[in-house]
Amino acid sequence: MSARVKQFLKETIDEDLFGNSMASHHVAGRLAFMKIEQARAKAAELLGLKDSKSVIFTGSATEANNLVINGFWLRFRDRGCRVLYSAIEHKSALESCQRIATFAGCQAHEIPIDSNGNVDLDVLKTHLKDNPKRLPTLVVMMHTNNEIPVRFPVESISELCQEHRAYFHCDAVQGIVRERIQVDKQSYGSLVISPHKFYGPKGVGILCLSDQSTCTPLAPFIIGGDQEFGMRPGTLNTHGILASIDALKELDETRANLVKHMTSCQNAFISTLQASPKFHRTIPTSHHAPGIVNFYLENWDALTLLSKLSKTCINRGASCTGAGGEKFSHVPRALGLPLEIQANVLRASFGWGCSVENAVEAAREILDICRNK
Ligand code: PLP
């Protein structure tokens, strides 16, 4: 967490905000409710939504992706529906799409990417056009990938969705860190962000539903409460939500510097590692998606290398892939890398938690291990 958000969170905990925001019959509940609604209104303003009811708080972006994709199927389960999703979605979106594909009446198509990480818009177009039963269609495409430095052409995807009356759900967890996002202006149907990616607390996800006719239609996935307009029952994490919106405000003020910093770190890391001819990036860096380096070291088993690092924290794939264990990520497979490389791909990512000097030190630690094999 950023120093500012940490301080804000401490002050919020010290304020008497323990009342349940749904308990409108007593003063403590009403106070918590008022604070949450203020935070919701600020989030809507910062994310370009006119109606604050378009903002739904969840427990994580993983939960929000599950809510949208399962909720879309639930809404249309009698009529049938379709889901078109990219091969490199975060697992929370990918596996939700794969699972609803097994449910009655759902047709699903995975849209491939090429070896540079570009999503095949021609395949997407073909599937969008080929809809003789005019089934409601949800397109699930992330803004920016979390393992490879790739930003999808969300503007073109959004246009295609409008042209073919499909709904566009976008996982912008990584995108918002790098770019300002205005949900309605950019015609997203629904969009998800995660405050712990921009120095807010863990345990909060933010789902934005468009104010426009492009809004992704949903039925609640979790049931048993009226919170979040019935869309996401469960007692709200008042302190976490307030601190998350403070982090969103801070992100808007600091994003340009963060992007510069991530770029400097990534460049220092790469140029230090380039001293070894065994260092290879799976795809080149992109100024659209700074701060992520996806690479492997020839003849090095990724798990062995990770086990020897004592100072550097990098991963094999995303953390949620159980990256330290036996499983490895679907992303190198989607890039079409040979099997022996897929298993040994590493991902380094950078942010305020790391200085340029730290990035150089990390690269040196990796080089030293490789030299002393
Ligand atoms: N989507 C992307 C692109 C991510 O990078 C992550 C986090 O790693 C998630 C979704 C899941 O977010 P959360 O940790 O809030 O569940």
Complete DSSP assignment for 249-291:
HHHHHHHHHHHHHHHHHHHHHHHHHTTSTTEEESS---TTSTT
Ligand 1 atom nearest to CA at 92 = 10
- Give 59's contacts (C-beta < 8 A, 6+ positions apart): 203, 204, 205, 234, 237
Is residue 138 within 8 Å of residue 166, measured between CB atoms? Answer: yes
Q: pLDDT truncated to tens, each residue of the chain (373 aa)?
A: 999 999 999 999 999 898 889 888 899 999 999 999 999 999 999 999 999 999 999 999 999 999 999 999 999 999 999 999 999 999 999 999 999 999 999 999 999 999 999 999 999 999 999 999 999 999 999 999 999 999 999 999 999 999 999 999 999 999 999 999 999 988 999 999 999 999 999 999 999 999 889 999 999 999 999 999 999 999 999 999 999 999 999 999 999 999 999 999 999 999 999 999 999 999 988 888 999 999 999 999 999 999 999 999 999 877 766 544 557 899 999 999 999 999 999 999 999 999 999 999 999 999 999 887 6
SS3 312: coil
Ligand 1 mutation target, pool 66, 320, 329, most atoms within 8 A of CB: 320
Q: Where are the beta strands (DSSP E) in the chain?
A: 55-58, 81-86, 106-111, 137-140, 167-171, 190-193, 205-209, 279-281, 292-297, 346-349
Ligand 1 atom nearest to CA at 196 = 15
Residue 371 burial class via C-beta count within 10 angstroms: exposed 0-12, middle 13-18, buried 19 and up: exposed
Ligand 1 mutation target, pool 67, 90, 154, 192, most atoms within 8 A of CB: 90
- Residue 334 Cα, ligand 1 centroid: separation in angstroms? 19
Side-chain-facing half-sphere of 196: CA atoms under 13 Å: 11
Tokens at 347, concatenated? 């991902």
- Tell me, what's the pLDDT at 91? 96
- Residue 140 Cα, ligand 1 centroid: separation in angstroms? 14
| Residues within a 6 A CB radius of ligand 1 | 60-62, 90, 92, 142, 146, 171, 173-174, 194, 205, 318, 320
Sheet containing 279-281: give its strands across. 279-281, 292-297, 346-349
- Tell me, what's the pLDDT at 323? 46
Ligand 1 atom nearest to CA at 142 = 3
Tokens at 337, concatenated? 């890398």
